[in-house]
Structure 1
Amino acid sequence: MASFARRIIAPAYPSIDSCHEVVMNKIACRSLFNQPAPLRKIQEEEMFKRIVFASVGAGLLAATAVAQTSAPTPPSSSSTPAAPAATPASKPAMPENNLAGKGKWRASKLIGVDIYGPDDKKVGDVTELVFDKSGKVEMVTVGVGGFLGIGSKDVAIPFEQVSWSDQPMAPAAPAPAAGGGTAGTGAGTASAPPAAAAPKAPAMYPDHGKITLTKDQLKEAPAVTYSGS
């Protein structure tokens, strides 16, 4: 009966160890609250600083997190690069219009070209070109007679009556040698034919012109005048 009573009554009372722990806690609490006022104020200030520092740190962490969240995402290397800004189109270079070698003649180069008669003798040279209003060359004038331009006159010849040539006139064949040579030399040695002239580069003017009038006929022809011009 006594043992049963001890079993029932024992839990209602703390053990010696538990009582000692309670006593020590009460002593610690009493020592905390029984501290002097200056020391308690210092501890309160330390606690306030810790709270302030903790609040500031939390704010900085929150700002960093927001900045990282709102930072723009860098473009990936696989994305298509943006097209470069269109630059103003440069003016295309104009092609060179070279008229040489296309059968074109220059009027300034045609003046001074030699004119030959039917006997392949020179009768004069071109002194002027006469055009109509449409630009077609109607005639050329040939300077005839005179000496160094003194006493010469210009004779008009229709352009289509002049035969133009790009090749120079062939030199006249030399006169045959007189007969009666010695037996050792025979009747004479034939001269070699002249070498063919090398082709000229496009000069945009003919080498010479040829007409059917002789020099004497040109001297009898009326001279061209430009009265009123």
Structure 2
Amino acid sequence: MIPVSDLLLFALAAFGLVISPGPNMIYLLSRSITQGRKAGLISLAGVVCGFLFHILMVSFSLTAVLFTIPYAYTILKTAGVIYLLYLAWQAIKPGSKNVFEARTDLKVDTPGKLFRMGFFTNVLNPKVAVFYLSFFPQFIKPAYGSVFRQSLTLGIVQIMVSFTVNFIIVLVAARVARWFSANPKWVRVQKWFMASVLTGLAARMAFDKAK
């Protein structure tokens, strides 16, 4: 069984993923603002199913071959560190877009299409793939028991964190967007907080050793 301390650290990493600007957050914000909470929740259901797809890929070891090739782990970890630092820079660089400036020109879609768009937005999101491939192996140890069970445990933690944050975003999307528009200084606070979390995770990943 994975130690609670490791699960808490993994939960922080998952939190860093979900609060960083990306296709999932932008899509959920846009849908919630333009089409209402119900549309946002349907889209969120699709996003969660997308996470399940990624988790099953890892849990059934479909990506394990990447870690049997010499230097593959180091290359992948380096790519993950660079990507996290890139996300941090994107959040604070001059002229960067506020994540709460979601699109408001989207047409009204059916529930089925909302679900499919949420699903494929997540499945095709490279940030999620990098997260799973970079972080899962660092928290999984044969000494903790079944690798499959450990993968599912990490996946459940990640989904719980992501769902909670995104659920809150969907419920208060319009209100939060208006609040940030009226209080621009807090946009900078939000960006620097996000960048700090991502940079910290990148540093932690960089100094981790392969198992």
Fold agreement, TM-score > 0.5: no
Question: Which structure has greater helix proportion?
Answer: 2
Pick the TM interval, shorter chain.
Answer: under 0.3
Structure with the bigger RCO (C-alpha within 8 Å, sep 6+) is: 2
Q: Normalising by structure 2, report the TM-score.
A: 0.18
